A and B are shown apart, each in its own frame.
Chain A
Amino acid sequence: NFMLTQPHSVSESPGKTITISCTGSSGSIASNFVQWYQQRPGSAPTTLIYEDYKRPSGVSDRFSGSIDTSSNSASLTISGLKTEDEADYYCQSYDNNNWVFGGGTKLTVL
């Protein structure tokens, strides 16, 4: 079965830039779209990036998505880190008609 692997946790200082990776276990990560979700404590997930790099209206341009076929990975980059960015981040793609989620990455901004 296809799996997506994310780092369990990352941390960085306010104002800095951080990148969270999401690596596909098989096949080409570029074969299917990747989405990224943010989940703050006690809240439902919200979509930051859909279809690899697109941002829903209202999502800050500090958030960007990309695909790297050489490492078979998708990445979420957050620039100008703010304390409010502290949250769990999940990538999601597809395995045939099923959704597959990464295990989630806890971002600490300190």
Chain B
Amino acid sequence: EVQLVESGGVVVQFGGSLRLSCTASGFIFDDFTMHWVRQVPGNGLEWVSHVSWDGTRTYYADSVKGRFTISRDNTKNSLHLEMNSLRSEDTAFYYCVKGGQMDWGQGTLVTVSS
């Protein structure tokens, strides 16, 4: 069974930094692209970033480009999102999503306070 467990969501101050992690199990991690998707409570889904199976190719939404960095460690079956220069509009649930059949984690809440 595919399991994706996000962690690292906390309350952080405006302009601060945060690192989210996603620990994967139940599948061959380096066979799949991995994604981060976020959702402001009460709003729709917004794709944030994705990374190729080998970590060499990364893509970002314009809203986070230059501030967020996605990475993966295939030796530890883990996905990360380094978030810098955080803004109030970054407050959201952040979901880790596995490519292919698109399995989702349960999400972790990031709150940026002013």
Q: Mark A residues whose CB is within 8 Å of B.
A: 35, 37, 39, 44-47, 50, 54, 56, 90, 92, 97-104
Alpha-carbon distance between A44 and B102 when the two chains are bound, in angstroms? 12
Which listed residue (A50, A99, A102, A104) contacts B37, Cβ 8 A? A99
23 contacts across the A-B interface (CB closer than 8 A)? A44-B95, A44-B104, A44-B107, A45-B37, A45-B95, A46-B104, A47-B102, A47-B104, A50-B101, A50-B102, A56-B101, A90-B44, A90-B45, A92-B47, A98-B47, A98-B59, A98-B61, A99-B37, A99-B50, A101-B45, A101-B46, A101-B47, A104-B45
Question: Does any Cβ of A come within 8 Å of B25's Cβ?
Answer: no
Alpha-carbon distance between A56 and B59 when the two chains are bound, in angstroms? 26
* 15 additional contacts (CB under 8 A) given A47-B101, A56-B102: A37-B45, A44-B93, A44-B104, A44-B105, A44-B106, A47-B102, A90-B45, A97-B50, A98-B47, A98-B59, A98-B61, A99-B35, A100-B47, A104-B44, A104-B45
Which listed residue (A50, A56, A99) contacts B47, Cβ 8 A? A99
